[in-house]
Amino acid sequence: MEKPGLKAKLLRDIAYLEQDQIPLEPSGLKIEKLDYEGESSGDEAYQLDDDDVMALSEALKKSNTFQGPLNLERNKLTDLVSYNIILIHKFICYSQLCT
């Protein structure tokens, strides 16, 4: 069985997160860790870029149900997206404390 591309996993998870649902594996198992570790092979299907991570961070802002670790190692990310993720994380933490 062929491993699904990293971007396909990302799009699947974003669809759930935008609906404030916990992402599910195709088997129906709940995803407890958002693991998007890229591969160093250079194949873009197995690496995320800034736009991908920004879409994920926007989906996470809409989600009150998912809580778990996030792995973005070995992807094509710039410092700008890292800065935006920190700001979004602070927004999420602040909104959870203030609601």
pLDDT reading at 96 higher than 60: no
Q: Is the pLDDT of residue 14 over 90?
A: yes
Residue type at 49?
A: D
pLDDT of 30: 96
Beta-carbon count within 10 A of 6 CB: 21
40 compared with 11, residue with greater pLDDT = 11
Domain regions of the chain by residue span: 6-98
Q: Note the pLDDT tens digit of each residue in 77-93.
A: 887 776 666 666 555 55
Give 99's pLDDT tier (boundaries 50, 70, 90): very low
Query: Which pLDDT does position 11 carry in this prediction?
Result: 96
Given a contact cutoff of 8 angstroms between Cβ atoms, the answer to whether 68 and 33 are in contact is yes
